[in-house]
A and B are shown apart, each in its own frame.
Chain A
Amino acid sequence: MDFKEKIFQSITYIASICTIVFLFGIILSLFFEGLPVLNFTSIKDFLFSKDWYPTMFPPKFGILSLIAGSFVVTLGALVISIPLGLGAAIYISEIANKRVKEILKPLIELLAGIPSVVYGLFGMAFLSPFLIKVFQVPIGLNAFNASIILGIMVVPIISSMSEDALSTVPNSLREASLALGANKWETIMKVVLPAAKSGVISSIILGFGRAIGETMVVLMVAGGAAQIPDSIFDPVRPMPATVAAEMGETAIGTPHFHALFGIAIILFIITFISILIIEFVVMRRKK
């Protein structure tokens, strides 16, 4: 083979290997800086203690409240985004005519393009006072507020991926169902949705991963209290918010610094598992 050909091919190899290097760089830096937290606390206390007092003396590094905070806002977000996102996908793919479709699709894409910090601003400066007025709660920056904003952010993810899945369902299935006397709604619920099941589930898992990792919104609107919430109107301190808020204020190499990287390891593992599940679901569909 020509020399130039070899060089060119090698460049494409090196570029591809860079992606693997970056991924390993991320994993290594998390574990290198995060694992030392186990010198200061046991893995059991780290994961299952509610006490997050990183600046007290002696400090306590239990992240259960932070994990709880993350899951509360993420599940809250999914409660909002699954009906809205899936509803939008079904409407666009099955019901809307071409013109409506061409208006709705970019509108929903627009939601995906809005920077998260602007969503955070909206939650802080507009939604929070609104919630205080409407629900008569003392604090507007709480798990409920964060769930609403995160929920809206996840809508375009669920809707675009579900819509892709719905549009790959062959028309012959719909026609067969309609020919057998089923109406539009029955066809959607009993034929089209089940046929697109794996794509829809993947979209929800992807939305979960996006919501649990989203930082700016929970940093700005979740309230910041490291506690296991009694109600949805309690302020919480999800994992990404803790890392973002405290990293700037802690000195490099302190136990607190390592604990924040430890939180990031947990966050990474959760998102990585959700990615693996999607791969698995998608793989199964392809078979």
Chain B
Amino acid sequence: MTNIRKLKSSIGINLLRLFILLTVFFLFLFLYVIFAKGGSVVSWEFLTESPKRFMTEGGIYPAIVGTFWLTVLSIGFALPLGIFTAIFMTSYAKPYWLVRIVRVAINTLAGVPSIIYGLFGLTVFVRLFNFGVSLLSGALTLGVLALPVIINASEEAIRSVPGDFRDASLALGATKRQTILRVILPTALPNILTGAIISIGRVAGETAPIMFTAATFYTRLLPKSAMDEVMALPYHIYALMTEGAHPAKQVPMAYGTAVVLLALVLLVSTVAIVIRYRIRKKRKW
């Protein structure tokens, strides 16, 4: 009887080990395939030149520039909105029914499929506001998509500021606004930024929301204004894999682009992890 119980226990625990090994194995296989097949494609020319001959030669510079601007503009739009919403949810939080509705809205926005953001951007930004298929439409669409992530991170950051800080500031005669702006926000800022950086990784890799709002298949030009169409790294990978007539030349370029995008996303999230680690070490409360 005890032997059977022991046997069951060891089978169960080894099964868990097997599962986690499978997951880790897949991760390494995945990274190996992408970097092995794409690593040799990446060169200085690949990073700094425009695509040539219908994307069978040349580089991905316009896509790097496009992804940079899409990311910067979308975070620039979503970060202030997100921080102010988080301040409302943590510090004012009245009336209660509004808090409930905002909470449901945030949770729903976080779960909406990315393709639906694309349709929303197409209907509202591209057509209703008449921004056309442009950097601006794409950045606003991505900004709305990043908003719930930023709000949740900012809220968590503000809530982790000890209540004593707030009480001490208020007791010294500071107003609520002064307390938020000069005590709570500065204390929470590193954590808020960590959340913002994580959402950068998310925004930079999204494809579906920009398909109909910002991205173009092929251009040799860089965007001159926010009203221009742009190339973007994730969309470029998709286009290389599904359009065009020379798969033998396009697939290696897709791998190369994937290496650049992955390196970018991994770099950004590593920065976030390092910042988070350093904050936790430095924190004295």
Q: Determine the chain A residues whose CB is within 8 A of the CB of B211 once the complex forms.
A: 244, 247-248
**B84 part of interface (Cβ distance < 8 Å):** yes
Q: Determine the chain B residues whose CB is within 8 A of the CB of A9 once the complex forms.
A: 92, 176-177
Question: What is the distance, in angstroms, from B135's C-beta to the closest C-beta of chain A?
Answer: 18
**A143 part of interface (Cβ distance < 8 Å):** no
Inter-chain CA distance A23–B123, complex, in Å, is: 14
Question: Is the pair B208, A20 in contact by a Cβ cutoff of 8 Å?
Answer: no
Question: What is the distance, in angstroms, from B266's C-beta to the closest C-beta of chain A?
Answer: 7
Question: Is the pair A213, B116 in contact by a Cβ cutoff of 8 Å?
Answer: yes
Give chain A interface residues in 21-38, CB to chain B under 8 Å: 22-23, 25-26, 29-30, 32-33
Chief secondary structure at chain A's binding surface: helix
Give chain B interface residues in 1-52, CB to chain A under 8 Å: 5-6, 8-10, 12-13, 15-17, 19-20, 22-24, 26-27, 30, 33-34, 37
- Please tell me the number of chain B residues within 8 Å of chain A, measured between CB atoms: 87
Q: Which one of B80, B114, B212 has the greatest number of beta carbons of chain A within 10 Å?
A: B114
Question: Is the pair A261, B208 in contact by a Cβ cutoff of 8 Å?
Answer: no
Knowing A84-B19, A183-B6 touch, does A18 contact B254 (C-beta < 8 A)? no
Question: What is the distance, in angstroms, from A56's C-beta to the closest C-beta of chain B?
Answer: 23
Size category of the A interface is 35 or more
Question: Is the pair A84, B22 in contact by a Cβ cutoff of 8 Å?
Answer: yes
Q: Determine the chain A residues whose CB is within 8 A of the CB of B120 once the complex forms.
A: 25-26, 29-30
Inter-chain CA distance A88–B22, complex, in Å, is: 10
Knowing A19-B151, A25-B124, A113-B266 touch, does A88 contact B108 (C-beta < 8 A)? no
Question: Is the pair A8, B177 in contact by a Cβ cutoff of 8 Å?
Answer: yes
**A230 part of interface (Cβ distance < 8 Å):** no
Knowing A22-B147, A108-B23 touch, does A118 contact B17 (C-beta < 8 A)? no
7 A-B pairs in the complex with CB atoms less than 8 angstroms apart: A15-B88, A16-B98, A26-B109, A95-B13, A115-B265, A240-B208, A264-B119
Seen from chain A, the residues whose Cβ lies within 8 Å of a Cβ on chain B are 2, 4-5, 8-9, 11-20, 22-23, 25-26, 29-30, 32-33, 83-84, 87-88, 90-92, 95, 104, 106-111, 113-122, 124-126, 152, 155, 183-186, 188-189, 206, 209-210, 212-216, 219-220, 240, 243-244, 247-248, 252, 260-261, 264, 267-268, 271-272, 274-275, 278-279
Nearest 7 CB-CB pairs, A to B?
Answer: A213-B113, A115-B205, A87-B19, A15-B84, A185-B9, A29-B123, A12-B88
